[in-house]
Amino acid sequence: MNRATLILALLAAAVFETVRWPASPQPWCGAFDLLASLALAGLACGLRRPAARSLVVLALVAWPVAFEVTCRVLFAAGVAPEYVLLAIVRNLMFGLVHEPDPARRDDGPAALGNGLSLFLVVASLMFAETLHAGVPAAGYGLAGLWWLMGRSWDRLHGRFAEPSSRAGAQSSRKLPTAWRWGVLGTAVVLAVLAGFGAGGSKSTSAWAGFFLSSGGDRWHDSFAQGGVRDGDQLVGATKEAESFGPVESKLFMTDESPSLYDVASDLYGEACPKKNKEVTPAVGLSADDVLITEEHKARTQQSGREFSVVRRRSRPAPKLADRPSDALVYVQGRVPLHLRLETFDTFDGREWHRETEAPPARMFAVAKDNTPWIAIDRSESVPEPPVERHRLKVVRLDTARIPTPAHATAVRIDLVDRPEFFGWSADDVLFMPRRERVPALQVIHLESQAVEADRAFSTADTVPDGSDRIAQVARSWTRGVAPGRHVAAIVARLKADYVLDRDYRVPEACEDSVAEFLFVARRGPDYLFASAATRLLQSLGVPARVAVGLYANPARYERQGRQTPVFRDDLHVWTEVRVGRNVWATVDATPGYEVLPPPRSLAQRTWASVVGAGRWVVDRAELCIVLAALLSWAVAVRRTLLDRAAWCAWWLAQTLLPARRVEFTLRLLEWRMRLAGRPRPRGATFRRWYAHAALRPFVELATRALYRPATSEESAAARKVCAEVAGDWTWRRLAEKAVAE
Amino acid sequence: MNVVSAPPTSALASLAIDGLRAALNGVLLGKEDVVELVLACLLARGHLLLDDLPGLGKTTLAKALAHAVGGRFARIQCTPDLLPADVTGFNMFHPPTQSFEFVEGPVFTDVLLVDEINRATPRTQSALFEAMAERQVTIDNRCRTLTPSFFVIATQNPVESHGAYPLPEAQLDRFTMKLRIGYPDRDHELRMLAGEAREASRTAVLDPARLRSVQDEVAHVALCPSVREYLVDLARASRSHPAVTLGVSPRGLLTWQRAAQARAFLAGRDFVTPDDVQDVARPVLEVRLAGEFDAPLGVIDELLASVAVPVFPRGQEKRR
């Protein structure tokens, strides 16, 4: 039964770790916390003295808090307080679930540990945001069912106590006094907390600062996910819409400022466009979507109320502080991501222009996953790679253009299901017509395909004569390279041979800034890299253009909010190449910038990791051979190595603590028997197990040392016997000699 | 190399024990291990139940032991018509003095051999309860004390069930050990036929006073806390074993401890080791465990294998 409860506890811990893992800022934090907790729990299991065991259990309970504080102070990495509390519950469960006394395994602390494991699973699943935790939770459920069946089977198997002895059995099941007081205290605390919870927000707000996860006020926890008042996540509105922030909610659809939506539209119908005046398209909201807070409040105008002259000074209501953000846009989804806002295709040596007009895209409403989307049809479908989704949360963007990936296929804004809200500009950019800017704090869903630039090819009729230096350079860089790899060759050469220097400026007198960059300066900001790559590719006949937009940098990824903020600094210029009739792919030649690869399947990822590991091994063949040889040797002689290591530990221990020399020698002997594959069974006495005649003196010595009260074996003979056993009876000799009776 | 000091038993006690060994091994050839357990039972101030087939030397061993320890010896041959008064004694009217005089029964002795105890009725068997547990009998509201060295050796035949009354668990718990003698091996049977086995000698090796002093010495054999914990763990494991419906009682636990002390004393030690506990586990538990099993020894071996033997000191109490 004890084994079953241990399995249940481990499964409950697995559920918790599966939930906590994505929320941990650093995965190693969670792993170290778990390993240290397991080590402490193992120590507690090995102790039989209640006092020592209680101390270790207390340390186990205190460990998550200490570790969290250390992580926050030293590494500025932490997790939400809810996870710290659950880690405390987990460790308490670990400390209680092992009961050394077989007779008490069904009641007392072990039973409490079982209850905690169930609580841990249920509470963890409340925080689960993915379905991954369902796997260990299902295992826990099955194991729990098996455990319950085992218990019931025991009882059905004629184990009911006789009526006369039942009173005794009941008295033995009573909790100790300390435990009873502990349970009572816990119940009182939980009742008080439940009372505060039932008292509503006013009740809990009065205790702001005492409850965990508080924030947005004088006291807040930057790692909080929510709680009393408004945590950082709430201010950021990544979880709830009641506070200010970019989140998909109807809350922002009733803004007084110019908006997409208008409550009046529902009541009076859509407004007719006025002549000579810009009209903002709007969507009507149903009456249910109007915030309750904006409803008319009843007021009494009758007399008869009292006027008191005994009054106390009213406390000023706490003001919620804004938590401003400098981000322009938040991106949820895979990064790095290039979000274009403008494109240019012609270069005159100093400036990029747009000369050709992109073919218009047809836009129409479609339903995907029971939600309305606006499909962007450019009369050419790309079968691969698969479509993926990103969420853009626009905080402030002073343009009506919507930042989109290179090959966007659909767009969605909540409740906006009419294609006339969107337009396709002449330079191939999605925008919102008849608006000055994209509405702030609105979530835009985008579907796109991360098309690879390998498909870019040179069209024969557009190949220039190649008489200029740039074309010669492009040809020299791509000489001997397959046509499909021209783009990669140009990008690799630029990234390898040129330096990103954001402060460099091309001389004003320069007539061809790209030539200046390529042949003279060999350094420059990102727009020079993009211009050079575009010019080089164009000179090879590859249709290419320059794109200006935002770069969602993976280095800025916020694990807590699972989003990537894009700041002003992330304005970026890159190249796009045409890979189909009307399909463009992102190419970035600037060092330090990466292009989002297509999403890969599990098999592709596995294969890539295998290939990567293989390449790593091949690149370091000599080192790997040496390491493999060393490892093989170590595996072959592992028992001898462990034997010698154990002897060193024995020598150190018996030198430092000579009074325990016999005990240490016996431990060494036991360890060597395990190495020899003959571990002493738990029910066998060592006198019977080490019955070899040559070991008899040591066995007699150990018998007296361990079982005879007030015995101190400090004689020279005892030292000699112990030294002989430690020196002569190696694991190999123990394996060869039949020592057991 | 001899690191261990000399055994702590006194010379007189050692001589007495050697004499007892010699006397019993002389009449029961090739059963040294059984003799050791019989001696352990005697020194632990317990009572012995010999359970085996007819003709294996139960009565011979009992008689030899009774004579060797000296003192008064009595024997009861149990039959279904045996009455409690035949065991404990009774008050008989004495006409010359016009009063009742007490006629002592066979229990008023130092060594009592109860032969084929399972042939007596439960009523008569119960007459031995008080005598065995408290070394006294109560007759007509008067309590009469038995000798301090009162020792019962009972025999029973396990195969003949007709006309037999199995001993109740309460009665069995009064016995310290249940021993089986078993058939001797071929060599010892040859030696027996050659006349090497002696008749039970009438010469006493001990007297009740010396036996009592040796028993006191045995009671002072030390147990360290870890061995005591081991005993308790074993007893509790016997109660929670799925096949056992009646585990070791606290009285049985005390008896087990005394038997282990006696075993250590016989081995020449003044302290008990887990080996001593395990050595006496089978005879001590076999008389006590009840449950749904055909082979109690298998269950006892399971119990011994399931509880960890204390080897390494836990904390500092080991050294106190």
| Cβ contact, residue pair A103, B222, below 8 Å | no
Q: Which residues of A touch B249 (CB under 8 A)?
A: none
Residue in B4, B274, B312 nearest the CB of A700: B4
How does pLDDT run across A314-368, given as a tens digit for each residue?
555 555 555 556 788 999 988 899 999 999 988 888 888 888 887 888 888 888 8
Helix (H) or strand (E) holding A626: helix A621-636
Distance of CA A728 to the CA centre of its chain: 53
Return residues 146-165 of A near B (CB < 8 Å).
154, 157-159
Q: Which of A49, A707, A710 sits opposite B273 (nearest CB)?
A: A707
Partners of residue A703 in chain B, C-beta under 8 Å: 273
Across the interface, which of B226, B315, B319 has its CB nearest the CB of A52?
A: B315
pLDDT band at A256 (very low <50, low <70, confident <90, very high): very low
Cβ <8 Å between B314 and A101? no
Q: What percent of chain B has pLDDT over 70?
A: 92
Residue contact B273–A158, C-beta within 8 A = no
Q: Which residue type sits at B77?
A: Q
Residue A711, pLDDT > 60, answer yes
Burial class (CB in 10 A: 0-12, 13-18, 19+), B231: buried
**Nearest residue in A to B2, CA atom:** A697
Residue A317 structure tokens: 């209501």
B274 shares contact with chain A (CB less than 8 Å): yes
Answer for the pair A237, A243: CB distance below 8 angstroms, yes or no.
yes
A728 has a chain B CB within 8 A of its CB: no
Residue of B22, B41, B52, B294 whose CA lies nearest to B183: B52
Query: What distance in Å separates residue A721's CA from the closest CA in chain B?
Result: 9
Closest C-alpha to B173, from B83, B238, B251, B99:
B251
With beta carbons less than 8 A apart as the criterion, state whether B68 and B223 touch: no
Quick one: closest CA in A to B7, which residue?
A: A704
Q: What's the CA gap between A112 and A633, in Å, rounded?
A: 48
CA angle A363, A369, A371 (to 5 degrees): 55
Q: Which residue has the higher pLDDT, B1 or A398?
A: A398
User: At residue A614, what are phi and psi to the nearest 5 degrees?
Assistant: -60, -45
Q: Band of the pLDDT at A162, cuts 50, 70, 90?
A: very low
Going by pLDDT thresholds of 50, 70 and 90, the confidence category of residue A102 is: low
Cβ pair A688:B313 closer than 8 A: no
Interface contact B202, partner A, CB < 8 A: no
Residue B51's φ and ψ, nearest 5 degrees, are: -120, 105
Contact A663 B312 (CB under 8 A): yes
Question: Which has the closest alpha carbon to B40: B240, B223, B190, B264?
Answer: B264
- The CA distance from B88 to B107, in Å, is 6
Mean of per-residue pLDDT scores for chain B: 84
In chain A, residues with a C-beta closer than 8 Å to the C-beta of B305 are 681-684
| Coil, strand or helix at A340 | strand
> Are B1 and A686 a contacting pair at CB < 8 A?
no
Amino acid occupying residue B165: Y
Cβ pair B87, B46 in contact under 8 A:
no
Mutate to test the interface with A, among B282, B303, B311, B316 (most CBs of A within 10 A): B311
Query: Which residues, other chains included, contact A397 with Cβ-Cβ below 8 Å and sequence gap of 6+?
Result: A328, A329, A403, A437, A438, A440
A316 compared with B41, residue with greater pLDDT: B41
The minimal CB distance from B309 to the residues A47, A49, A685 is found for A685
Burial group, residue B50, by CB count within 10 angstroms (0-12, 13-18, 19+): buried
The minimal CB distance from B236 to the residues A103, A154, A713 is found for A103
Q: Cβ–Cβ of A707/B240 closer than 8 Å? A: no
Residues of A in contact with B263 (CB under 8 A): none
Provide the shortest C-alpha distance from residue B274 to chain A (in Å).
Answer: 7
β-bridge mates for residue A499, sequence order: A523
Q: Which of A26, A30, A34, A22 is nearest to A131 (CA)?
A: A22
Enter the pTM of the model. Answer: 0.54
Closest-CA distance of chain A to residue B88, Å: 32
Q: Do B271 and A49 touch (CB under 8 A)?
A: no
Interface membership of B240 toward A (CB under 8 Å):
yes
Q: What pLDDT, on the 0 to 100 scale, is given for residue A197?
A: 56
For the residues B184-211, what does the mean pLDDT come to? 79
Q: How far is CA A659 from CA A663, A695, A719, B217, in A?
A: 9, 21, 10, 30
Whether the complex's predicted ipTM is more than 0.95 is answered with no
* A696: contact with B, CB 8 A cutoff: no
Interchain CB contact of B93 with A (< 8 Å): no
Mind listing the pLDDT tens digit for each residue in B265-302? 999 888 999 999 999 999 999 888 888 777 788 889 98
CB nearest B315 (choices: A49, A154, A663): A49
Put simply, the answer to whether B239 touches A103 (Cβ < 8 Å) is: yes
Q: Are B113 and B75 in contact (CB under 8 A)?
A: yes
Residue B262, pLDDT > 80, answer yes
- Centroid of chain to Cα A91: 22
Phi and psi at B38, nearest 5°, equal -60, -40
Q: Name the strand (E) or helix (H) holding A408.
A: strand A408-413
Under 8 Å between Cβ of B266 and B279: no
- How far is residue A686's CA from residue A689's CA, in Å, rounded to a whole number? 5
Query: What is the SS3 assignment for B91?
Result: strand
* CB atoms A721 and B1 under 8 Å: yes
Q: Mind listing the pLDDT tens digit for each residue in A418-464?
A: 888 888 888 889 998 888 888 777 789 999 998 888 776 665 455 55
Judged on CB neighbours under 10 Å (0-12, 13-18, 19+), B249 is middle
User: Would the pLDDT of A603 be above 90?
Assistant: no
Q: Does the N-terminal peptide bond of residue A591 adopt cis geometry, omega within 30 degrees of 0?
A: no
Residues A38-67, mean pLDDT to the nearest whole number = 85
Amino acid present at A128: A
Proportion of chain A in helix, strand, coil states, percent, rounded to 5: 50, 10, 40
Tell me which chain A residues have a C-beta less than 8 angstroms from the C-beta of B313. 663, 706
If you search the block for the tokens 């767009």, which residue do you land on?
A: A411
Count contacts between A and B (CB, < 8 Å). Answer: 94
Alpha helices in B47-93 (DSSP H): 58-68, 84-88
CB contact under 8 A, A682 and B237: no
Structure tokens at A181: 């007081």
- B252/A179: higher pLDDT: B252
B313 touches chain A (CB under 8 A): yes
- Kindly identify which residue of chain B lies nearest to residue A157, measuring between CA atoms: B242
Nearest CB neighbour to B3, from listed A686, A688, A721? A721
Tokens 């010698």 locate to A644
Q: What is the pLDDT of residues A620-658, one digit of tens each?
A: 999 999 999 999 999 999 999 999 999 999 999 988 888
Residue B246 in contact with partner chain A when CB distance is under 8 A: no
| Structure-model confidence comparison of residues A187 and B19, the more confident one | B19
Amino acid code (one letter) for A708: R
> Given this model, what pLDDT does residue B7 score?
46
Helices (H), B57-177: 58-68, 84-88, 122-134, 169-172
- Going by C-alpha positions, the residue among A445, A427, A328 that lies closest to residue A389 is A445
Half-sphere exposure of A645 (CA within 13 A, CB side): 8
DSSP secondary structure of B243-309 = TEEE---HHHHHHHHHHHHHHHHHTT-SB--HHHHHHTHHHHHHTT-EES-S-HHHHHHHHHHHSPP
Is B3–A700 a contact, with Cβ atoms under 8 angstroms apart?
Answer: yes
Q: How far is B246 from chain A (nearest CA, A)?
A: 11
Alpha carbon of B41: minimum distance to chain A alpha carbons (Å): 22
The answer to whether A316 contacts chain B (CB < 8 Å) is no
CA distance A394 to A144: 47
Q: Which residue of A has its CA nearest to B308?
A: A682
State yes or no: pLDDT of A271 exceeds 50: no
Residue A63 confidence (pLDDT): 93
How far is residue B165's CA from residue B63's CA, in Å, rounded to a whole number?
24
Q: Does the structure show a pLDDT above 80 at A250?
A: no
CA–CA separation, A691 and A307 (whole Å): 98
The pLDDT, as a whole number, for residue A153 is 67
| % helix, strand, coil for chain B, step of 5 | 45, 15, 40
Q: Please, what is the Cα angle at A391 between A231 and A597, to 5 degrees?
A: 120
Chain B, window 216-235: residues with a beta carbon less than 8 angstroms from a chain A beta carbon: 222, 224, 226-227, 233
Nearest by Cα to A343 from A279, A422, A404, A263: A404
